[in-house]
Amino acid sequence: MPPIPETATDLPLDSLSTHLAEILPRFDGPLQADLLSGGRSNPTYALTEGTNEWILRRPPYGAVWKSAHDIGREARVLQALAGTAVPVPAVVDHCRDESVIGAPFYVMPRIAGRTLRDRTDTEALTPLQRRGLAKSLVSTLVALHEIDPLEVGLGDFGRPDGYLERQLRRWDQQWDSLRTPDRVDASELRRALAAAMPTSTLTGIVHGDYKLDNVLVSTEDPTRIVAVLDWEMATLGDTLADVGFLLSFWDEIGGPHNPLTAGATALEGFPPAHEMATMYAEQRDIDVNDLSWYVAFSNYKLAVILQQIHVRHLRGETRGEGFEELGPMINPLIELALDRLEEHR
């Protein structure tokens, strides 16, 4: 395994500069880099040579279940969605040659915008802005789900048939492979999810990680989404899985909070989760009677993702701050998922 960089300056900037100078039409050098994300998903770096700015994404260092961090799939879906109603960054380079930085990677221009990560960020918005942002989150997700995968070259991007069964089996396998002594027994939840699994009827392009802090909003108008980010889990499947994932992070005033967001949307102006689901259903002209199963599954999926990161952190394979806070969030997510399934019964 290659050494894990302490900072972005440990990237092989000389070889990266040589590569980018051959690829990019405007590149003055020398290259500088800042680590923006230490590996909670795919490590992300800001690059500049003083004039232009780019973002580089690569797989995590020491990643477990590397299939969940396929940079090639992420680059492909971004390229496919360019020019559609879904705002995505352009891919200016997708490098499969691991000799350049030690892993495959892709580069995109840096887009001006804001990421709203927690309650501190959303408290700065007005109630009217919060409602407008919620509407944009729904309409952008509808735009994605209304795209015909064949028309954008993604007809072979996944297998919609049996998507939920495969997803549950995959996350079960990952949970089993990552168990640590401090984890609760998730067997009851897993049995309940398998027994209550709905039949998929609405298939399309699934983002897989669609939530408030994975979109970039305009610095001038926080109700306008300028880019949807973090497509590493995108595939073809049941589009309601994206709705459930978004709502699993949708905290409400007086209700239980997702431990990761801790009340980010539990503020005046943000509509309740059931209204978000209604907006989505009306825009797609579909019936959505009960999303509790999808929300519960999303809580479980998030628990497994956090466990992946927790295990990497225990192994010393992460860099950055805040990783020690993720482990204590996992057991409450399992319990929250069981509570959600009670609503489904």
CATH no., domain 119-344:
3.90.1200.10
User: How confident is residue 318, by pLDDT bands cut at 50, 70 and 90?
Assistant: low
Domain boundaries, the chain: 8-109, 119-344
User: How confident is residue 2, by pLDDT bands cut at 50, 70 and 90?
Assistant: very low
The bridge status of strand 225-228 relative to strand 93-95 is unpaired
Q: pLDDT tens digits for 137-185? A: 999 999 999 999 999 999 999 999 999 999 999 999 988 888 888 888 8
Residues 6 or more apart from 337 whose CB is under 8 A from it?
A: 189, 193, 296, 297, 299, 300, 303
For the record, the structure tokens of 98 come out as 């691991």
Query: What local confidence, expressed as pLDDT, does residue 41 receive?
Result: 66
DSSP alpha helix (H) spans, 46-162: 71-81, 119-123, 127-145
pLDDT above 50 for 3: no
Q: pLDDT tens digits for 213-222? A: 999 999 999 9
Closest CA to 40 of 228, 335, 317: 317
C-beta of residue 164 within 8 angstroms of C-beta of residue 298: no
Output the CA–CA distances (angstroms, integers) from residue 301 to 101, 151, 193, in the order listed: 30, 30, 11
Residues 6 or more apart from 119 whose CB is under 8 A from it?
A: 261, 262, 263, 264, 266, 267
Q: What is the pTM of this model?
A: 0.89
Decide yes or no: CATH 3.40.50.150 for domain 8-109.
no
Which whole number is the average pLDDT over 34-40?
67
C-beta of residue 8 within 8 angstroms of C-beta of residue 277: no
Q: pLDDT tens digits for 191-241? A: 999 999 999 889 999 999 999 999 999 999 999 999 999 999 999 999 999
Top mean-pLDDT range of 14-28, 136-150, 242-256: 136-150
Q: Which residue has the higher pLDDT, 43 or 190?
A: 190
Which whole number is the average pLDDT over 292-319?
84
